Amino acid sequence: MSEHRRLGAEALLDLVAEAFKGEIAPSLPPDKRYLAAMIGNALDIARREMAVEEEALAFQLLDHFYDDGDGTMQELARVIRSGTVNDTSYPELRARLKAHVASELKVRNPRFLGTRGVKG
């Protein structure tokens, strides 16, 4: 049942974004265009986040450093700052972090990745 409700919300957001960007935004006066662009952007992010939760992306990163379910982003940030986890102790550190950032960008701003030559 919860599965259907999620799909319903996603489909609704999809329609709202389409109607807003296709029919409402173009008819707004110039001084509202920036706000309209922000609303369209926010709707798109919300829609993508319903399909991929950022919490799941964080666990994908944390699983490389901690036993299953252990560790938090706060803890990982702390040990990187303290130097306990670094390029020497973990040679793939930068690559893992970059992959995580890319996974967040696929939700928050896939167009950005395109400008950096990464497929969204």
Partner 1 sequence: MAQAMDDKVSTGRRMLEPGGFVVLEPWLASEIGAERVAIVGAALLAGGAVQQNWRLDAEVTGGARAGRHAWVLRTDAAASLDVSLDRLSEFRCIEAAHKAGVKVAEPIAASGDSGLIGRPFAIQALVAGNAQGRRIVRDPALVEFGEDLAREIGRELARIHSVRPKAGVLSFLPIPMTNPSRREVAAMRKGLDGASEARPALEYVLSWLDANAPEPPAITLVHGDFRTGNYMVEKGQLTAVLDWEFCHWGDPREDIGWFIARCWRFGNDDKVAGGIAKLASLLEGYNGVADIKLTASELPYFEVLAAARWATISLLQGDRFIKGGERSLELALTGLMPPEMEWDALDVIDRLVTKGRVT
Cα separation, 40 vs 21, in Å, equals 6
Selected from 52, 77, 89, 92, the binder of partner 1 by CB under 8 A is 77
- The verdict on 52 binding partner 1 (CB under 8 A) reads no
Cα-based distances in Å from 97 to 16, 23, 93, 100: 34, 40, 6, 5
- The verdict on 74 binding partner 1 (CB under 8 A) reads yes
Burial class (CB within 10 angstroms; exposed 0-12, middle 13-18, buried 19+) of 96: middle
R_g over Cα of the chain: 19
Shortest Å distance, C-beta 89 to partner 1:
12
- The verdict on 39 binding partner 1 (CB under 8 A) reads yes
Pick from 111, 113, 106: nearest CA to 48: 106
Selected from 1, 83, 91, 119, the binder of partner 1 by CB under 8 A is 83
- The verdict on 100 binding partner 1 (CB under 8 A) reads yes
- The verdict on 59 binding partner 1 (CB under 8 A) reads no
3-state DSSP call for residue 31?
helix
Q: Which residues bind partner 1 (CB under 8 A)?
A: 35, 38-39, 41-42, 45, 61, 72-74, 76-78, 80-81, 83, 86-87, 93-94, 97-98, 100-102, 104-105, 108-109, 112-113, 115-116
